[in-house]
Amino acid sequence: MTDLLDKWSEAAVTSLGFFWMALWAFVLGYLISSIIQVMVSRHEMRNLMGGDGPKSMSIGTLFGFISSSCSFAALATTRALFQKGANFSPSIAFLLSSTNLVIELGFVIALFLGWQFVVGEYVGGIILILLAWLFIILTNPKELIHKARERNQDEGDGADEDGHAWSRLFDKEI
């Protein structure tokens, strides 16, 4: 009986350890998503990631690279970007980058497998983003993107759809 309790407590401690290690990715990802939803205006997002060109794609990829690697949080952040006015292609670049061009995963791969695998991961992630971009350009799903954007607008709270500009964060008159 004591052996069973020892094994059970060991399993519980291990599970809690895994939960604790994964919690930061969830918290960071959802924090980023909520900051985008509350603090970034549609105008700012359209200026930053509103096009389908190399600038918007690079910004989406960079933001994904420095964000959380948690897939659930990456999806929530991608939806927030799209809802705030980012084009579909840069939003997908963010999603793919945040799950494939992950800084912390690069450290782990370098530690266990070597720097060559890190280079392979990053080159492969960039190729994946470029192929997705090409696929979006070739298939031209404008009608589907328009329907998705309309559905996202309908699901918004409507109270303050434009968010708050970062410059207003420290404004004393508010």
Tens-place pLDDT, residues 113-156: 999 999 999 999 999 999 999 999 999 888 888 888 888 776 55
User: What pTM was estimated for this model as a whole?
Assistant: 0.74
Q: What is the pLDDT of residue 39?
A: 81
Residue 109 scores a pLDDT above 80: yes
Length of the chain: 174
Residue 89: which of 152, 131, 43 has the closest Cα? 131
Rounded CA separation 100/54 (Å): 19
Domains of the chain by residue range: 2-154
Sequence-ordered list of residues with C-beta below 8 angstroms from that of 68, at least 6 positions apart, any chain: 25, 26, 28, 29, 32, 74, 77, 98
Please state, as a whole number, how many other Cβ atoms lie within 10 Å of the Cβ of residue 169: 9
Please check whether residue 96 is in contact with residue 67, taking contact to mean a CB–CB distance below 8 angstroms.
no
Work out the angle at residue 74's Cα, subtended by the Cα atoms of residues 95 and 72, and round it to the nearest 5 degrees.
130
The string over 107-128, giving b where at least 16 C-beta atoms fall within 10 Å of a residue's C-beta and e elsewhere, is eebeeeeeeeebeebbeebbeb
Q: How far apart are the first and last CA of the chain?
A: 63
32 in Cβ contact with 84 (< 8 Å): no
Query: Which of residues 77 and 170 earns the better pLDDT score?
Result: 77
- Which tops the pLDDT comparison, 49 or 26? 49
